[in-house]
Structure 1
């Protein structure tokens, strides 16, 4: 339940910030970031250590916003989320099994070596995506207007995530069909 609230607030965050800036001082919007930080801390989840680090940094961003009464720390939250996801996916490449393999094993517990190699590659692709998306989130926070920041982080980034997921699903279907026919 807590994770659902965290995900919903994180997804809506850029829109909430965009609609509020100009009407509410950034120091008061820091309360939203404070709430996200506390919820992430309480939610914990499978990646407790990473969730707690994200919570701590979100709380620091909230404190910076409240102290400076500037919107920049608020706009850095999507960068933080991308960095955290990169850390989770990247560490799973190092420690194993990868995040994508763990998800795949929910449907296919006996994942063969070919499937494991594929899930490793998909995890690497996601890591690349988080680097690029986090870089664009940072660029929009530093140099773009608030409207462009909200458009990218609140809409375009989610469209890119959906496109990557759909593209991976199509590739996986083709590979499975090829593997079923005995082709490599």
Structure 2
């Protein structure tokens, strides 16, 4: 992992807690520095259409914070991330190979047709996750307290992602056993 990716990962993990803590203590314009740091760390890291869309969205959120000095645009960042991930995974379904198939082929280049179908289904499940998670992130940004927003977007959402990863891994082991039996 490059230092840039490590910085982005760390800033992303700390972001919800910094926004929660900063509310009432720090002007939103100053809290926007954290989002600006994430944007600056990501610039040039990846030049895909999805990363450009994410950068534009993050830039719009930054401008909205700077203009309004309100925290809502900062709280919408997790919604943007889920929308970007949905875009990447959804695009790959329309333009195969799917994201999960590409990842699977890193360790299993000769993926059988049943494996391709399975990875497509997993990509669809992730799309559903991003829709649901993004909707909850939007709900918490618009109507929940800062503490609930931070708890969901900084802890619960990551826990749910981990559960989905672990659950998929267990299902994958079972599917592989069935295919090789």
Same fold (TM over 0.5): yes
Larger RCO, structure (CA 8 Å, separation 6 or more) = 2
Unaligned runs of 5+ in 2: none
Whether the 8 Å CA contact 1:38–1:55 is kept in 2: the answer is no
Look up the match of 2:5.
3
Map 1:39-78 to 2 at 5 A: 39-44=41-46, 48-78=48-78
Deviates more, 1:22-31 or 1:153-162: 22-31
Question: Cα offset for 1:13?
Answer: 0.8
Whether the 8 Å CA contact 1:11–1:154 is kept in 2: the answer is yes
Distance 1:70 1:92 in 2: 35
Runs of 4+ that moved beyond 6 A: none
1:15 equivalent to 2:11? Answer no
Distance 1:175 1:57 in 2: 38
**1:36-85: CA deviation from partner (whole Å, max 9, x where unpaired):** 2222222116xx22112111111111111111111100000000000000
Map 1:122-141 to 2 at 5 A: 122-141=122-141
Question: Cα offset for 1:174?
Answer: 0.8
Distance 1:41 1:131 in 2: 26
TM-score, normalising length from structure 1?
0.94
Unaligned runs of 5+ in 1: none
**1:98-134: CA deviation from partner (whole Å, max 9, x where unpaired):** 0000100111010010000000000000000000000
CA RMSD of aligned residues (A): 1.0
Number of aligned residues: 179
